[in-house]
Amino acid sequence: MKRLILVYNPRSSHYTKVKRDVITKLQGLSGWMIGKFEVADTDVDDNAGRLAKILLDNDLVISAGGDGTANIAMNGVMLSGRKDVKLGVLGYGNFNDMARSFGKPKLQEILEGKPTKVWPLECSINGKHWRYGMCYFTIGMFAEACGVFDHPKTRRALRKGNKRTVFSLGVLIQWWVRQHRKQFMPEFELGGGTGEYVPSNKASDYMAVNGKTVAKIMRGGKYFLQKDGFLSAMGKMNKFWPLFAMMVRSVFHRVPGIESDYDELVFKKPSRMMFQAEGEYKMISGVEKVEIRKATAPLLVIMK
């Protein structure tokens, strides 16, 4: 009998919909052995590690939740090293970057669909694997700004209505006005496969984009379908005009940057900064070198 592992978070803003649309429909599903993985109130890495340990060859993993839940499911599959494990992503979050990248498939389409090979990004810190990211990684100001969405009042507002993008922009603008004078990234040099290194020039952010969009606003590309290549960018987003220019171009065209196969950020001294992948952020200390590249093995995803 085929195994299906449902990954969900009972504390998420839209759990009621997940229970109604997914959990209820999976009960009594013929031909499948159903298992449920409840996301614990710890972090992405702990949850992904625990999920990886229970996966078997040929499992179907379905994430039902926001990008945080999808990120746990994707990292769990990648870390498991199991053969032919397939991933389906149902978007029940505020932005759903990963689900939208895969065409927002419905439950029945995931159960019946055939997988496509996709290639996540991999981030290593000081020479050790840290995390996989399907759609993007950011370091610096944008990563730190994610914390504003965890405020209880903000989370309640995000649950209501269809104006979440406008509301989110308003919250971010207020946060930026208060925080933009802060130094978000220490001095570093950005290099890659060419061996040439470009000084950071007081950049506030580094970004690697692999998916179609970042948080529903910034446009990238379908790099996740490629074995090599992603969009690389760094900028002074703590300055108004560079931020304004980037936002305008990102909304109407795409994130301004260059295509890269491998990025290496080298810091002048061990530093502390915020990292983010798919909306999940973490402050990390003692960072000397960060490497971004495509994962060496593909992920099997059921897309629409």
pLDDT of residue 45: 95
Q: Residue 4: helix, strand or coil by DSSP? A: strand
Alpha helix (H) residue ranges in 127-260: 141-145, 152-158, 164-179, 240-252
pLDDT score of 152 more than 60: no
Res 127 pLDDT > 60: yes
Q: Residue 139 in contact with residue 275, Cβ under 8 Å?
A: yes
Range 80-107 average pLDDT: 94
Q: What are phi and psi of 168, to 5 degrees?
A: -60, -40
- By the 10 Å C-beta count (0-12 exposed, 13-18 middle, 19+ buried), 57 is classed as exposed
Per-residue pLDDT, 234 = 86
Domain 2-119 and domain 123-294 have a common topology: no
Q: Positive or negative, the Cα torsion across 167, 234, 285, 42?
A: positive
Is the pTM of the predicted complex or chain greater than 0.85?
Answer: yes
pLDDT digits (tens, 9 = 90+) for 154-178: 555 555 554 555 656 666 667 667 7
* Domain spanning 2-119: CATH 3.40.50.10330: yes
User: Residue 147 and residue 133: Cα distance in Å, rounded?
Assistant: 18
pLDDT tens readout for residues 176-197: 677 766 777 888 889 886 666 6
The CATH classification of domain 123-294, taken from the options 2.60.200.40, 2.40.160.10, 2.60.120.10, 3.40.50.300 = 2.60.200.40
- Per DSSP, 259 falls in state E
State how far the Cα of 148 lies from the Cα of 279, in Å rounded to an integer: 11
pLDDT in the model for residue 168: 61
Structural domain boundaries in the chain: 2-119, 123-294
Tell me the pLDDT of the chain averaged across its residues.
88
pLDDT tens figures, 239-283: 777 777 777 777 778 888 899 999 999 998 999 999 999 888 899
**99 is written with which tokens?**
């689900």
